Chain A
Amino acid sequence: MKRFLAVLLALAMVFALAACGAPNNNAAPNGGNNNNAAPEKESKYGGTFVAAVATSPGCLFYPYQYASVSTYVYPAVETLRLRNPQTGKYEPNLCESWETDLENHTLTMKIRKGVKFHDGSDLNAEVVKWNFEKIMEYGNGSVIQSPTNIEVLDEYTLKVTFPNFDLNQESFTYSVLIYSKKAFEEHGLDWCINNCVGTGPFVLKENVPDSHLLFERFDNYWKKDAEGNQLPYLDAYKIQVIPDASAQMTAFSNNEIHRFPCSDMQISESMYKLGYKNKAQIGEANSAIVYGVYVNNTKEGDPWSNPLVRQALLLHGIDWKAVAFVAGGNTAFEIMTPLIETGDGYDASLMDASKYDVAKAKEMLKEAGYENGFKTKILKLDYGTKAATEIQSQLKTNFNIDAEIVNLVNGDDRRFDGVNEGIYLNYGYTTADFARHLRNMFSPTGTYKNVHKYSDEYVTMLQQMKDAKTIEEKCDLIKKLSYKLMVEECLFRQMYAVPNNIFIQDYVHESGLERSVDGITPETTWLDAAYRK
Chain B
Amino acid sequence: MGKYIIKRILQMLVVVILVAVVTFFLTDMLPSDPVYLIGGDELTTEEYDYIYHQLGLDKPLAERFVIWARNALHGDFGRSYTYHKDVWELISARIPVTLYLSILSLIISVPLGVLFGMITALKRGTKTDSIITLLANVCSCLPQFWIGICLLVVFGLKLRLLPSVGFHWPGEVGIVQHIKELIMPLICLSLGGVASFTRQTRSSMLEVIRQDFVRTAHSKGIKERFVTFRHIMRNGLIPIITILGNRLAYMIGGSMFVENVFSIPGMGTLMVKSVSCSDIPTIQALVLLTTMVSCMAYLLTDILYVIVDPRISLTSDSKK
Chain A residue nearest to B272 in the complex (CB): A243
**Inter-chain contacts of B163 with A (CB < 8 A):** 251, 254, 256
A353 touches B (CB below 8 Å): no
Chain A residue nearest to B37 in the complex (CB): A411
**Inter-chain contacts of A410 with B (CB < 8 A):** 32, 37, 276-278
Given the contacts A19-B176, A68-B40, A445-B44, A59 and B84 also touching, CB distance less than 8 Å: yes
Chain B residue nearest to A437 in the complex (CB): B42
Bound CA span A449–B43, Å: 11
Bound CA span A19–B167, Å: 14
B161 touches A (CB below 8 Å): yes
B 1-32 binary contact with A (CB < 8 Å = 1; else 0): 00000000000000000000000000000111
- Cβ < 8 Å to B, chain A residues 127-163: 138-142
- Cβ < 8 Å to B, chain A residues 179-211: 190, 193-194, 208-211
Q: How far is the CB of B233 from chain A (nearest CB, A)?
A: 12
Given the contacts A139-B46, A211-B265, A242-B165, A55 and B40 also touching, CB distance less than 8 Å: no
B260 touches A (CB below 8 Å): yes
- Cβ < 8 Å to A, chain B residues 104-161: 115, 119, 149, 152-153, 156-157, 159-161
A8 touches B (CB below 8 Å): yes
A10 touches B (CB below 8 Å): no
**Inter-chain contacts of B81 with A (CB < 8 A):** 58
Whether B263 pairs with A21 at a CB distance below 8 angstroms is: no
**Inter-chain contacts of A19 with B (CB < 8 A):** 162, 176, 179-180, 183
**Inter-chain contacts of A58 with B (CB < 8 A):** 38, 81-84, 277
Bound CA span A21–B177, Å: 10
Whether A256 pairs with B32 at a CB distance below 8 angstroms is: no
Given the contacts A139-B47, A139-B51, A251 and B164 also touching, CB distance less than 8 Å: yes
Given the contacts A247-B165, A409-B30, A209 and B83 also touching, CB distance less than 8 Å: yes
B36 touches A (CB below 8 Å): yes
Chain B residue nearest to A253 in the complex (CB): B157
Whether A411 pairs with B160 at a CB distance below 8 angstroms is: no
Chain A residue nearest to B122 in the complex (CB): A1
Whether B84 pairs with A247 at a CB distance below 8 angstroms is: no
Chain B residue nearest to A447 in the complex (CB): B41
**Inter-chain contacts of B166 with A (CB < 8 A):** 211-212, 240, 256
Whether B36 pairs with A409 at a CB distance below 8 angstroms is: no
Chain A residue nearest to B163 in the complex (CB): A256
A104 touches B (CB below 8 Å): no
**Inter-chain contacts of B283 with A (CB < 8 A):** none
Given the contacts A20-B162, A242-B263, A413 and B44 also touching, CB distance less than 8 Å: no
**Inter-chain contacts of B265 with A (CB < 8 A):** 208-211
B 189-227 binary contact with A (CB < 8 Å = 1; else 0): 000000000000000000000000000000000000000
Task: From A22-30, A356-364, A464-472, give the one contacting chain B.
Answer: A22-30
**Inter-chain contacts of B39 with A (CB < 8 A):** 65, 67
Given the contacts A241-B263, A441-B42, A140 and B47 also touching, CB distance less than 8 Å: yes
A408 touches B (CB below 8 Å): yes
Chain A residue nearest to B43 in the complex (CB): A447
Chain B residue nearest to A138 in the complex (CB): B50
Whether A411 pairs with B33 at a CB distance below 8 angstroms is: yes
Given the contacts A211-B263, A247-B164, A18 and B156 also touching, CB distance less than 8 Å: no
B255 touches A (CB below 8 Å): no
Give 3 closest A-B pairs by Cβ, nearest first. Answer: A139-B50, A411-B32, A67-B40
30 interchain pairs, CB-CB under 8 A:
A18-B179, A19-B162, A19-B180, A58-B38, A59-B84, A67-B40, A68-B40, A139-B47, A139-B49, A142-B46, A193-B85, A194-B85, A209-B90, A209-B93, A209-B265, A210-B263, A210-B265, A210-B273, A211-B264, A241-B263, A242-B263, A246-B149, A247-B263, A251-B165, A256-B163, A256-B165, A410-B277, A428-B41, A441-B42, A446-B44
- Residues of B whose CB lies within 8 Å of any CB of A are 30-34, 36-47, 49-51, 81-85, 90, 93, 115, 119, 149, 152-153, 156-157, 159-167, 176, 179-180, 183, 260-265, 269-270, 272-273, 276-278
Having A240-B166, A246-B261, A247-B156, one finds 4 other A-B pairs with CB under 8 Å, namely A20-B183, A410-B32, A411-B278, A445-B45
